[in-house]
Structure 1
Amino acid sequence: MLALTWHPGFCLTKPKAPECVRPPEGAEEATRLSLHGLWRVKKSYCGIDAELKKRHRSSKWTDLPKLALSETTAMRLATAMPGVASGLDRHQWVMNGTCHAATAEDYYGRSLEMLDAVNTSAVGAFFEAKAGKAVTIAELAAAFDAAFGAGTGERVQLRCRTIGDERIVTGLTIGLKADEGDLGGLIRGASATKSRCTGGLVARAGGD
């Protein structure tokens, strides 16, 4: 499963998060979906010893070991995943990435490729065009069908939170087949799903 964040919406629901108080320089969250994580369902902490698992569960994510990433990948991740400010990159690697790839470099290289595929598609254009407007899961599904093939929209869920009387879109999750290949094929290979959130506001950066 690939989880992506709509950062303006996330920050409306968690304004005190480090990545919302002081967004990283050059961050893409204003107009593009950002990376939350990539994981295998019902599989986590692969090859992680008990001590590190305990640290992960009881300490701040920024206290986890620094990731061994190339300078290029680290810089790209810092802009594509604003949650790096909260240690989200370390959390995702320890809990999920270890079950997906041999190294953090491989894990985030693959994750960023998928993120780019979404952001440069009709789905990315959909979110940019809808900033400040309400959207429905049916509209999002249609954008996925246009971008990645018929039926892919049935493998997507909206992630939303409620503020007062309004539903705010905070991101989305995309079902994937656990295999290699292009993103469209991976999505089509996954099982269809149903989104609990049927629609909400795609917030603009810096406001509603």
Structure 2
Amino acid sequence: MSSMQLRTLTFAVSMTLAGAAMAQQADGRTRFILAASWQPAFCQTNQKKAECASQTGERHDATNFSLHGLWPMRQNYCGVSDDQKAADKDGKWTSLPQVTLSAETQAALVKAMPGTQSGLERHEWTKHGTCTKMSAEDYFGVGVHLLGGLNASAVRELFAANIGKPVKAEAIKAAFDKSFGPGAGDRVKMSCRRAGNVKMISGLTIGLSEAAGSASAKSAGLGDLIQGAGKTSFGCDEGVVDAAGF
């Protein structure tokens, strides 16, 4: 190979690597996931859970998204004992250590996360929260704040206006783009589950940037965190927005 060919090849490789780096920077990188549930659909197949047995059409989670969790990517059970890890995996969540929160954060969490009636917050802290650099107070404070941003958006309005009806992926992605900026819908994945013959939307997982992992995210805009994440496939293409009740 001549020196000219070698220089040409080296230049081509460097440009390819630079292009890949720029593309990754433009798309961002997902470091956290905000997991939001549509509680009525969850309860269709979990009717015996306390939060489902007590659900009514007037309760907040009947027409708003509920907080499932805030998940750091590819990290679980950091510094957790084997006994606690085993209890968590066995679903014995109420046997896990109690999460200590301020009265204000506790009240907000009970509203945002109906699963606290079954110890969901203990599970989320044990499996996911321990892998952040935040205290439990900040971890759940961030989750509640970001869920509030979702529930104040066109996405929640779309769901609330279509209870009992099917909604397509395109409409949901458009609602994300409307509220959180162009391309926001490309950073969301939708999950569906079947209850009888009906395919229901059970929840959304929303990609977030690394900034979601600090206490300062309690005052951050959800759109900014979404825009800093990487793109993903949307998953389920259509599902019914379930109403509360069985």
Same fold (TM over 0.5): yes
Q: Aligned match of 2:223 in 184, 191, 197?
A: 184
Q: Aligned match of 1:199 in 230, 238, 241?
A: 238
CA displacement at 1:59 relative to structure 2: 5.2
Provide the rounded CA distance (Å) in 2 between the counterparts of 1:206 and 1:8: 7
Partners of 1:35 and 1:81 within 8 A in 2:
yes
Partners of 1:27 and 1:79 within 8 A in 2:
no
Please state whether the residue corresponding to 1:39 is helix, strand or coil. strand
Q: Tell which deviates more after alignment, 168-177 or 139-148.
A: 168-177
Q: Tell which deviates more after alignment, 105-114 or 128-137.
A: 128-137
Report the CA distance shift for 1:81/1:27 in structure 2 as closer, same or farther (over 3 A).
farther
Provide the rounded CA distance (Å) in 1 between the counterparts of 2:189 and 2:122: 25
Matches within 5 A, 1:48-87: 48-58=80-90, 60-87=92-119
- Structure with the higher fraction of residues in helix conformation: 2
CA displacement at 1:18 relative to structure 2: 1.9
The CA RMSD measured in Å over matched residues stands at 1.7
Provide the rounded CA distance (Å) in 2 between the counterparts of 1:153 and 1:102: 28
**Ranges in structure 1 where 5+ consecutive residues have no aligned partner:** none
Give the letter aligned to residue 244 of structure 2: A
Provide the rounded CA distance (Å) in 2 between the counterparts of 1:144 and 1:96: 25
1:164 aligns with 2:196: yes
Partners of 2:62 and 2:244 within 8 A in 1:
yes
The aligned counterpart of 1:108 is: 140
CA displacement at 1:50 relative to structure 2: 2.7
TM-score after normalising by structure 2: 0.79
Give the letter aligned to residue 199 of structure 1: E
Partners of 1:159 and 1:197 within 8 A in 2:
yes
Question: Structure 1 stretches (4+) deviating beyond 6 angstroms?
Answer: none
Report the CA distance shift for 1:36/1:59 in structure 2 as closer, same or farther (over 3 A).
closer
Please state whether the residue corresponding to 2:40 is helix, strand or coil. helix
Structure 1 vs Structure 2: percent identity of aligned residues? 44
CA displacement at 1:196 relative to structure 2: 2.4
Please state whether the residue corresponding to 2:60 is helix, strand or coil. coil
The aligned counterpart of 1:125 is: 157
Partners of 2:102 and 2:137 within 8 A in 1:
yes
The aligned counterpart of 1:37 is: 69
Equivalent pairs, count:
206
Partners of 2:189 and 2:235 within 8 A in 1:
yes
**Ranges in structure 2 where 5+ consecutive residues have no aligned partner:** 1-32, 213-219
Query: Which string of whole-angstrom CA distances, capped at 9 and with x for unpartnered residues, describes residues 14-62 of structure 1?
Result: 21222111239x8411111110001012111122233322332235101
TM-score after normalising by structure 1: 0.93
Partners of 2:149 and 2:221 within 8 A in 1:
no
